Structure 1
Amino acid sequence: MNANQNGKPQRLGVTMPISEAYPTKEDEESTERLRKTLMDQGLFESEEESKRREIVLGKLSTMVKEFVYVISLRRNLPESSAREAGGKIFTYGSYRLGVHGSGKHVQREDFFGELHDMLRRRPEVTELTAVPDAFTPVIKMSFSDIPIDLIFARLSLTSIPDNLSLSDDSLLRNLDDRCIRSVNGSRVTDEILRLVPNIQSFRLALRCVKLWAQRRAVYSNMMGFLGGVAWAMPWPQPVLLKPIEEGPLQVRVWNPKLYPADKAHKMPIITPAYPSMCSTHNVTDSTKAVMLSEFKDAAELVNRIMVERAPWSDLFAKDDFFSRYRHYLQVIASSDSEERHLRWSGFVESRIRHLVTKLERVENLILAHPYIKGFSKVISYKTAAEKEDAAHGIVHTSPADQSDPASDSAETQTMYTSIYYIGLCIPAREAGSTGHRKLDLFRPKEEFTEIVKSWDKYDAQINHASLLSALPPELTEGVDQKKTKRAKSGKKSAVDNRPPTKKRRGSNSQNGALQDSTESIKK
């Protein structure tokens, strides 16, 4: 430990060190093997990529200053004041942590209006979408193929100097909640780096944890897992300290602030910067259970790696989500233009966790496990029947039926779809029970439909959910179905493979509401 001014040991974290022993030769060799494995996995950015990222940030910084200048003139500020108003880009998250593979007259509406339009005119910008209704409003884009999340905060300052630091708590005065959340993205990462005694060791460990989480499909704040900076806080981090005077080299563990939180929080992880917030408010009972199971499996695997010298690459094996369950719920969001689909699919994806919490209340369902991302498809169609099939995830590889005269003269049109999957864990049947059980998904689906239709930008785009007894072949390619896990429920449980009711194509007409679904389940 470090020593304070009185010469007494100073604890930097909230826990005692797990060990103060020297790292052994085996420990050092294992760390070097891990570093090489992470390099082989492409976790370290090349010098060329780093320079390109710096160029992008420089261009964005110039654009932000120009944006503030334009809005300042529009608000009738003098030319000199408009030039001095300024704006500044603060990095946060993985980039600020080093593990990345605004004046009062400028309003948030200007950010999502004028700046969004300025970005749209840039040839380097693709996949541009504004999400003003998010918990932390954001503009998402790729700038020269580098993914960027741009958030906005309006400080109570007359101008934004280039040397501004966000460490001063007084900057938060008179800010609304959305601005505080935006500013705290940078403040939290800065505070973490300030608290960590050895940043190099911290970054190596964090790269390892994040790669593992991504490979095991538990990296997504939006879907109810941990995301971004949350992974930097919950786990004990071994940190190598410099020798204290003539004493030995010491190893200690830093822990974040794991304080009690609201009872609604399933796995509270509290940020270290003021005002402290729970970074895991999206975690559900199901996603918590999935993460705890993955933590346990990973701990056992790391022990084998350390003791038996197994390769570190074993830790980063791909997830088995699409072979883990017998049945899955499929949610499809579709639109008729790429720009509208970026907004619509993003909104639907942000609400999937609400469907999960509703499914958790369904009788005969142990767990609803959402996959961390959707799968996008661009589908061409000619006839109304093909359009309907496309909206339900059915893709025709052959042209439209030539017996249909309308298909000969019909113009080929395009539909953009995003498909999301939720694995369903059904309990084993009790001994001696007979007959079928019911898995009633009607109410969760209807409530989810109402949530997405309540969006003020809802424009009758189709979204559909169906219970699948067979996944699309592209998701199960190379999967040995005989080894499929039954979601750790012990015995086999299945949804009746009989075809669903004919109500699918009549799903509430034009608004594309989710289908009725009360499925039978049998042993």
Structure 2
Amino acid sequence: RAQAAQPLLAMSNLQQVYPVDDQTPDARLEYAAAAERSLAKWMADNIDVESPEESDRRRKLVFQLTYIFLEWVRDVCLSKGWSEEEASQAGGLLHTSGSFKLAINEPGADIDVICVAPSSVTHEDFFRTLTPRLQSDRRVENLNAIETARVPIITFDFDGVNIDLQLATLPLKKVPPSLDITDDMILKGCSESSKDVLGGPRATIMIAKLIPGFDRGSNFRGLVRVLRKWCKKRGIYSNKAGFLGGININILSTLVCQMYPMATTSTLVRKFFFLFHRWNWQNPVLLCRPVEHTELTWPNWSSERDLMPIITPNYPTINSTYNVNKWTLKVMREEFVRGRQIVEQAAREAGLLEVSAESLPPDELEQAEATVMECWDRLVEPSDFPAVYERYLILNIQANTVDDYNSWKGYIESRLRLLVQHHRAPCLGQLPFSSIRAWPKEFDFRVQKGKPNRAAETVVVYEEEQDKNAAGKKGNEAAEESAKPENRVCGCYMIGLNVDKRRKRKLINLDGVLESWKKGLGVDVIGNPLPWVREGMTIDFDAYSFKELPDVVMEPLGGRSAASQIRRLSKRKQHEEEKEAALRDLERKKQEQEELEKEKAAAAEVGALEEARFGATSDEAMDEGAASLKRERDIDEDLDAQERKRARRDAGPEERDGVSLEVSVKEVAADGTVLEHPFRAQFPSCLAFHPRRGTPAAELLRSDGNGLVAGTSAAAGFGAGGWIMTSAAQAAFERVVENAAADGGAEETKATMAEEAMAEEARAEEARAEEARAEEAR
């Protein structure tokens, strides 16, 4: 009992990351009651909820699966030499996750089932022995085993209910019924696959514990149902394609309930859009602070590359939206903004209705109620995806059998995001497109292109004689048996493309990207064919304009004429946005130009001051942008310095005068020009530099190979840097300057400085040589 209480205690100590915004009921708001009533009425008319009888039937099916699983574990243990008693005690657990576990599943939704087995059971047993056992059960249909998936899975219909079955093995000889999978220590010694499989039910259990008042009738379920309806209608419900999935919606809804624990369902919907339409996705969505374990090696999520991190609450934490790319994030942000505008309008309309309900005549009251309901209808109206893109890329897929098609379809859906965006391989995101959107839901037909600018035709292909009784029938009767929706073996996916006119320079060719992506289908990371790929699994591509799309894809929008009207409005809006963007760019460039002119004026003013300090006349003013190229100054003192330098070079190094200089930056004005050195007047003529503004210091400080720097011409000069002397030369220079000031002899100052500088340099050279000899001796 003490061990069982430990994980519960750990979960009770979990800290909520984001604070509670308001713990008081929002019934005090004048529109809250009306908004809640209108949303409840709308949900009753538009959202299907599973009946209690159907829920009971699905729970019983899970119990029946538990019996099949436990019998299978027992038989596996017996086949491996276990005794009857040991095999009966091996045990096992069956856990559900996701919507079924949280009791928010919709009619016809699948059930995620996780089998927890002891170490004696392997994945090979799971696919070699459990699969035939399920196939022999008359209640099982459409079984599909995917052994090579990252997380191996068996999918099938069990008495009409779709089941996703996964296996997790624990490093235990027995799995008792009382085992608590929320205890993080059960992951010790688990394989990567088992850890991932257990993450589903562990996350679901923690989400239920983190929802305020979940067991007391929380509005969490109502919020999730509205958001699911919204996501599916707007085409952003698919974790595989990089949009929101069930686990993502559950986590986001839990966060809203944590921050507004006393809010009604309508208020939670408003707060959801208010919160996430402006969310900074550099900050992850966290329900609780991650837990670290020194005994476990699984790392928590810490990636900074993810664009929309929604983190699971269980250890080890992972990003549940790692498939999101910049294109899907852009679409979801637009949908968040659109949703906020609509729900805020619904709240305002409900508030007006609440205030004026008693004074309105019956017909106006009915019209006001209809206005509120129309707002909720607009929230989930079909997406305008088929009408707003310039080009559409259609991918037709087909297989020979229904089972092969289901496997091929799921695989292609998971690879669509790599066609849109990939960081290592060619993808559509690398081409000059301003917008890319893959529709996550499959269309149940193939598209055959016809004449240019004419609507294409659709074709539906069925598996021949799929029905067992069809083989014994003839003619139209057999065709009707085969042509059932569940026997369809073809479909297509659509990707919308908008060209970026600023980046486009020539005709865009998609062949290279599509062929590169197609080569990666049906093979693993090293290029070996996947074992489940069958002959007849095909895919082909073609590009279509809006006029060439088949009429059937326009039906959710009200037909082709309604879609054309939406397209015209979209183009008009896009044109206005482009004009506004162009005006903003023009204004920005104008401001940048004005700032540049101000900087140039300031630089010219500083340059004029520098010209005055160097004795330049006003007519010698120059353009600051070409200071180092357009101006020259002839200075008599510098020419004299050049003459003296040539004389010393002819006389030999012992007759040279000068000082050793270090290349450094000193006394530079704000615009990069050189200020006047305080010792300029005391320099001998050979060092009396008269620099030119803007000239690099490297042009001035030219070494003669002995560390001495002679005077330079006016053409060299310097301006990007200054200079200082070595400590020895500086000391000699200061003594010479003092003597020169006392004696007043300029020529004597020159000679004395040269002698002192050379003497100091000789002493320094001797000291360096002595240090070198001592180092060599050591």
Task: Calculate the TM-score normalised by the size of structure 2.
Answer: 0.53
Residue type at the aligned position of 1:361: G
1:473 maps to 551
Distance 2:572 2:324 in 1: 19
1:278 and 2:319 are equivalent in the alignment: yes
Residue 224 in structure 1 maps to residue 254 in structure 2: no
SS of 2:491 mapped into structure 1: strand
User: 2:519 aligned to 446, 450, 460, which one?
Assistant: 450
Equivalent residue of 2:54, what SS?
A: helix
Question: 1:156 and 1:428, CA in 2 relative to 1: closer, same or farther beyond 3 A?
Answer: same
The partner residue of 2:496 within 419, 423, 437 is: 423
Question: 1:43 touches 1:207 (CA, 8 Å); kept in 2?
Answer: no
Q: Report 1:253-402 matches (<5 A).
A: 256=287, 261-309=302-350, 310-311=372-373, 312-358=376-422, 359-377=427-445, 395=459
- Residue 492 (structure 1) shift: 12
What's the offset of the Cα at 1:68?
1.0
C-alpha distance in 1 between matches for 2:327 and 2:428: 7
Q: Which amino acid aligns with 1:137?
A: P
Q: Is the 8 A contact 1:104 1:155 kept in 2?
A: yes
Superposed displacement of residue 161, structure 1? 2.1
Contact 1:38 1:44 in 2 (8 A): no
Q: What is the CA–CA distance in structure 1 between the aligned matches of 2:316 and 2:515, rounded to whole Å?
A: 37
CA–CA distance in 1 between the matches of 2:566 and 2:446?
32
| AA at the equivalent of 2:197 | S
Task: Select 1:463's aligned residue among 517, 539, 560.
Answer: 539
CA contact (8 A) 1:378 1:415 kept: no
User: Which residue in 2 is equivalent to 1:385?
Assistant: none
How far apart are residue 445 of structure 1 and its match? 0.8
Deviates most, 183-192 or 337-346 = 337-346
Could you say if the C-alpha distance between residues 452 and 189 of structure 1 is closer, same or farther in structure 2, counting changes exceeding 3 Å?
A: same
| Structure 2 residue ranges without an equivalent (≥5) | 1-12, 107-116, 263-270, 276-284, 291-300, 351-371, 448-455, 462-477, 524-528, 579-778
C-alpha contact (below 8 Å) 2:421/2:429 kept by paired residues: yes
Query: Greater RCO between the two (CA within 8 Å, min separation 6)?
Result: 1
The answer to whether the aligner puts 1:211 opposite 2:226 as a matched pair is: no
Residue 441 of structure 2 aligns with an amino acid whose one-letter code is K
Structure 1 match to 2:26: 23
Deviations 1:171-220 (A, max 9, x none): 10111111111101001111111111122222222222222111211110
The residue aligned with 1:38 is 43
Residue identity matched to 2:102: L
Alignment counterpart, residue 124 of structure 1, candidates 106, 114, 139: 139
Contact 2:460 2:488 (8 Å CA) reproduced: no
Per the alignment, in what secondary structure is the counterpart of residue 181 of structure 1?
helix
Q: 1:32 to 1:181 in 2, by over 3 A?
A: farther
Q: Could you tell me how far apart the structure 1 residues matched to 2:327 and 2:197 are? A: 28
Shift of 1:238: 3.7
What aligned pairs does 1:429-448 form with structure 2 within 5 A after superposition?
437-448=506-517
1:93 alignment counterpart: 98
| Whole-angstrom CA distance in 2 between matches of 1:440 and 1:490 | 26
Corresponding position: 1:72 with 2:69: no
Deviations 1:348-370, CA, capped at 9 Å, x for gaps: 22211111115443332123211
Helix, strand or coil: the match of 1:418? strand
Partner Cα separation in structure 2 for residue 186 and residue 488 of structure 1: 46
How far did 1:258 drift?
A: 9.2
Q: Can you list the C-alpha shifts for 1:53-89, whole angstroms capped at 9, x where unaligned? A: 1121111111111221221122221122222212221
Residues 63 and 11 (structure 1), Cα distance of their counterparts in 2 relative to 1, 3 Å cut: closer
Work out whether residues 103 and 157 of structure 1, in 8 Å CA contact, stay in contact via their aligned partners in 2: yes
Structure holding more strand per residue: 1
**CA–CA distance in 2 between the matches of 1:61 and 1:74?**
20
Question: What's the offset of the Cα at 1:106?
Answer: 0.8
Decide whether aligned partners of structure 1 residues 209 and 394 sit closer, same or farther in structure 2, where only a CA change above 3 A counts.
Answer: closer
1:146-161 equivalences under 5 Å are 146-161=161-176
Change (3 A) 1:32 1:91: farther
Cα offset for 1:132? 2.7
- Indicate how the Cα distance of structure 1 residues 393 and 175 shifts in structure 2: closer, same or farther if over 3 A, else same: farther
Q: Decide whether aligned partners of structure 1 residues 426 and 378 sit closer, same or farther in structure 2, where only a CA change above 3 A counts.
A: closer
User: 1:162 Cα deviation (Å)?
Assistant: 2.4
Report how many residues are paired: 448
Q: How far, CA to CA, are the matches of 2:96 and 2:40 in structure 1?
A: 25
- TM superposition shift of 1:255: 5.9
1:379-414 per-position Cα deviation (integer Å, ceiling 9, x unaligned): 9xxxxxxxxxxxx986399xxxxxxxxxxxxx9999
Among candidates 117, 120, 123, match of residue 105 of structure 1: 120
SS at match of 2:316: coil
Structure 1 position 53 matched with structure 2 position 58: yes
| Structure 2 Cα separation of the partners of residues 255 and 306 of structure 1 | 28
* Residues 282 and 344 (structure 1), Cα distance of their counterparts in 2 relative to 1, 3 Å cut: same
Partner residue in 2 for 1:144:
159
> Structure 2 counterpart of 1:62, which letter?
Y
What TM-score comes out, normalization by structure 1 length?
Answer: 0.78
The answer to whether the Cα contact below 8 Å between 1:427 and 1:489 also exists between their aligned partners in 2 is no
Counterparts of 1:220 and 1:191 in 2: how far apart (Å)? 23
1:11 to partner: Cα distance: 10
2:140 maps to amino acid: V
CA contact (8 A) 1:258 1:270 kept: no
Report if aligned partners of 1:331, 1:465 keep a CA contact under 8 Å in 2: yes
Question: Which sections of structure 1, spanning at least 5 residues, go unmatched?
Answer: 1-9, 243-250, 380-391, 398-410, 494-523
Structure ranking higher in helix proportion: 2
CA contact (8 A) 1:125 1:142 kept: yes
Counterparts in 2 of 1:346 and 1:113: CA distance versus 1, 3 Å: farther
| In 1: Cα distance, 2:175 partner to 2:46 partner | 40
RMSD: 3.3
Residue 474 of structure 1: SS of its match in structure 2?
helix
Change (3 A) 1:258 1:344: farther
What is the identity, as a one-letter code, of the residue corresponding to 1:190?
I
SS at match of 2:219: helix
Name the CA shift for 1:378/1:116 in 2 (closer, same or farther; >3 Å).
Answer: farther
Q: Matched residues in 2 for 1:225 and 1:350: separation?
A: 12
Partners in 1 of 2:445 and 2:393 — Cα distance?
A: 18
- For 1:35 and 1:269, locate their aligned partners in 2 and report how far apart those are by CA, in whole Å: 29
Letter in 2 for 1:322: P
Considering only CA atoms, is the larger Rg found in Structure 1 or Structure 2?
A: 2
Q: How many Å apart are 1:303 and its aligned residue?
A: 0.5
Are the counterparts in 1 of residues 437 and 496 from structure 2 also a CA contact under 8 Å? yes
Query: What amino acid sits opposite 2:87 in the alignment?
Result: A
Instruction: Name the CA distance, whole Å, in 2 between partners of 1:396 and 1:153.
Output: 39
Q: What secondary structure sits across from 1:465 in the alignment? A: strand
